[in-house]
Chain A
Amino acid sequence: MNKLRALFHPIMVFIGVQIAWIVLMVVWINWYLENNLSIKEFAQELRPDLFTAEVEWLILFEGCFLMLLILSGVYVIFVYWNKQNRLNQMQSNFVASVSHELKSPLASIQLYLETLKYQDVSKEDSKDFIETMLSDTARLSGLIENILQSSKADPKSMELQTQKIDLGQFLSEVVNDHKRQFEEKNCEVKLQLEASPVLILDKKALQMVFNNLIGNALRYSPVGSSLKIHLHRTGRFWDIDFMDKGIGFEKKDMKKVFKKFYRVQNKDTQNIEGAGLGLFISHEIVKNHKGRLKVMSPGRGQGSVFTVSLPISRGLTV
Chain B
Amino acid sequence: MVDAKKILVVEDESHLAKGLQFNLEREGYIVSLVDNGESAIELLGKQPFDLMILDIMLPKVNGIEVAKRVRNKDIRFPILMLSAKSSDEDRELGLEAGADDYLTKPFHLPELLLRVKGILRRWEWYKEPVHDQEVFHFGGMWINFVNGRAKGSSGEFYLTAKEALLMRLLVSQKDNIVRREELLEKVWGYDPQTETRTVDNFVARLRKYFEKKPQSPRYIITHREKGYEFKS
Contacts and interface: CB of A to CB of B under 8 A. Distances in A.
A115 B20 CA distance: 9
B140 to A, nearest CB: 37
Contacts, number: 72
Interface stretch (B57-65, B123-131, B220-228): B57-65
A106 interface: yes
Contact of B13 (A99, A108, A115, A268): A108
Given A110-B106, A114-B108, A270-B62, A104 B22 contact: no
B155 interface: no
Interface string B31-57: 000010000000000000000000001
A170 interface: no
Contacts of B16: 104, 107-108, 111
A103 B23 contact: no
B22 A125 contact: yes
Given A107-B84, A107-B106, A115 B19 contact: yes
Residue of A103, A104, A223, A273 with most chain B CB atoms under a 10 A cut-off: A104
Nearest to A269: B59
A135 interface: yes
Interface string A101-134: 0011111111110110011000001000100100
Given A108-B15, A111-B19, A118 B109 contact: yes
B107 A107 contact: yes
A137 to B, nearest CB: 11
B15 A136 contact: yes
Interface string A166-189: 000000000000000000110000
A213 B166 CA distance: 52
B26 interface: yes
B13 A119 contact: no
Contact of B84 (A99, A111, A132, A223): A99
A183 to B, nearest CB: 10
Contacts of B85: 100
Contact of B23 (A99, A100, A115, A271): A115
B213 interface: no
Given A108-B16, A114-B108, A114-B110, 15 more contacts: A104-B13, A105-B15, A107-B13, A107-B16, A107-B106, A110-B109, A111-B19, A115-B22, A118-B110, A119-B23, A268-B59, A271-B62, A272-B57, A272-B59, A273-B57
Interface string B5-20: 0000000011110111
B105 interface: yes
A271 B15 contact: no
Interface string B77-89: 0000000111000
B110 A132 contact: no
Interface residues on A, range: 20 to 34
7 contacts: A103-B84, A104-B16, A106-B105, A107-B105, A111-B109, A223-B35, A272-B57
A106 B86 CA distance: 14
Closest 5 pairs (CB-CB, A-B): A107-B105, A107-B106, A114-B109, A103-B84, A108-B15
Contacts of B14: 184-185
A187 B27 CA distance: 32
Interface residues of B, number: 25
Nearest to A132: B15
Contacts of B109: 110-111, 114-115, 118
Contacts of B62: 270-271
Contact of A112 (B19, B59, B60): B19
Interface in A36-56: none
Contact of A119 (B15, B26, B59, B108): B26
B26 A103 contact: no
A109 B14 CA distance: 12
B106 A103 contact: yes
Contacts of B18: 132
Contacts of B15: 105, 108, 112, 132, 135-136, 184
A268 B59 CA distance: 7
A99 B57 CA distance: 13
Given A99-B84, A270-B62, A273-B57, A104 B105 contact: yes
A273 B55 CA distance: 13
Contacts of A107: 13, 16, 84, 105-107
A111 B20 contact: yes
Interface string B163-192: 000000000000000000000000000000
B57 A271 contact: yes
A281 to B, nearest CB: 23
Nearest to B113: A118
A110 B84 contact: no
